[in-house]
Amino acid sequence: MNTQNDKQVVKTASEARRAKTKKTLFFIRNLFKEDKLALVGVCMLLFFIVVALFAPVIAPYDPNVIHRHDDGQGAMKRLEPPSREHLFGTTNRGRDIFSQVVMGTRVALFVGLLAAFFVTVVGTIIGLVSGYYGGWIDTFFMRLVDISYAIPFVPFVIILVTLLRPSLMNIVLAIFIISWRTIARILRSQVLSVKERPYVKAGRVAGATNIRIIFLYILPNVLPLALLEMTLRMAQAILAESTVSFLGFGDPSVTSWGQILEQAFMAGAMRDAWWWVLPPGFAIALLIVSVFYTSRVLEVVANPQLRRR
């Protein structure tokens, strides 16, 4: 009899979770209507995604092609200001800056999305396991987190990329190794609270396995917080890749925004050729701002107290 009652409690809890998920989706839609900054952030992020997907079509030239004048002498179009032919001007080697910025969008989103995805998945799993089981498992993972916090982020990425070899995947790997710590610690503290709720205890009594409880009972309650952290880690990864490329440790086989700024700096054009510096700089800033504005929605979902404000 008690077993049947426990199963009924679990069934009722599952229905309640589905209703809560549906309610959350409606809430997010209404929040976008009310929060204009969040809507602007989503629109900006979608714009960058579209540019990245259709970059070869949008870019008028190959970013590495050297353009020359049609005056019979073939003089290089060196540091020419913006014009109809070159919307963002040219570099000191006659390359089209607009094409470079457009192609650099792919690199920024690739690194940001891939690094954020792996960091979120691994950090979420570690946070769930650590918070749910506790004991020596919790102690082991939290000590790893403490050790990783003692490692400076950008120097670690630079050293690891240098030891392996400059490539986008190695940059993603370096960001992943050092960035999972924050999500793991935040979700672990949330799991410590969620695992004591009545429906989780009812699931144990009904015979649900630990894996089922972790991923079907606890994960849905911490998922909004994990998605919020994912957007923040995405912005961090984009900034990290730009920083590493600006310092000269980026992938030389691709065109990135940080690499464009690094080439402008090495050419001494930071002041004289403003058209070489401002487009990639604004692109980095706008993409990071769009990610942060988009996270405003997830922040309210993750923290119900903000709904009353």
Mean pLDDT of 255-267: 92
> Which tens digit of pLDDT belongs to each residue from 170-201?
899 988 988 898 999 999 999 998 888 888 88
What is the pLDDT, as a whole number, of residue 131?
Answer: 92
Quote the percentage of the chain above a pLDDT of 90. Answer: 40
Task: Give Cα separations from 207 to 45, 159, 220 (angstroms).
Answer: 44, 49, 20
Residue with tokens 């065109």: 255
Q: For 30-50, what is each residue's pLDDT tens digit? A: 666 677 788 888 889 999 999
Name the residue type at position 171.
I
Instruction: Give the CATH number of domain 2-67+83-308; options: 1.10.3720.10, 1.10.1740.110, 1.10.1740.10, 3.40.50.1820.
Output: 1.10.3720.10
| CA–CA distances in Å: residue 64 to residues 24, 61, 192 | 47, 8, 53
Beta-carbon contacts of 122 under 8 Å, excluding residues fewer than 6 positions away, are: 176, 180, 184
* Closest of 217, 214, 298, 309 to residue 24, by C-alpha: 298
Residue pair 134/97 in contact by the 8 Å Cβ criterion: no
State how far the Cα of 8 lies from the Cα of 276, in Å rounded to an integer: 66
The 10s digit of each residue's pLDDT in 263-290 is 999 988 888 889 999 999 999 999 999 9
pLDDT at 155 over 90: no
Q: At CA 90, angle to CA 274 and CA 60, rounded to 5?
A: 125
pLDDT tens digit sequence for 222-253: 888 888 889 889 999 999 999 999 988 888 88
The two structure tokens encoding residue 262: 């690094």
Q: Give the domain ranges of the chain.
A: 2-67+83-308
Helix H or strand E encompassing 290: helix 274-302
pTM: 0.83
Look at the chain and count its residues: 309
Distances (CA, A) of 222 to 4, 115, 171, 194, 226: 28, 20, 28, 8, 6
pLDDT of residue 264: 92
Could you list the beta-strand ranges (E) of the chain: none
CB-CB contact of 217 with 10 (8 Å)? no
Token code pair at residue 250: 């980026």
Q: Residue 192 contacts by C-beta under 8 Å, 6 or more apart in sequence?
A: 131
d(CA 279, CA 286): 10
pLDDT the model gives residue 30: 66
Give 1's pLDDT tier (boundaries 50, 70, 90).
very low
The pLDDT score that the predictor gives to residue 301 is: 63
pLDDT class of 202 with cuts at 50, 70, 90: confident
pLDDT at 308 over 60: no
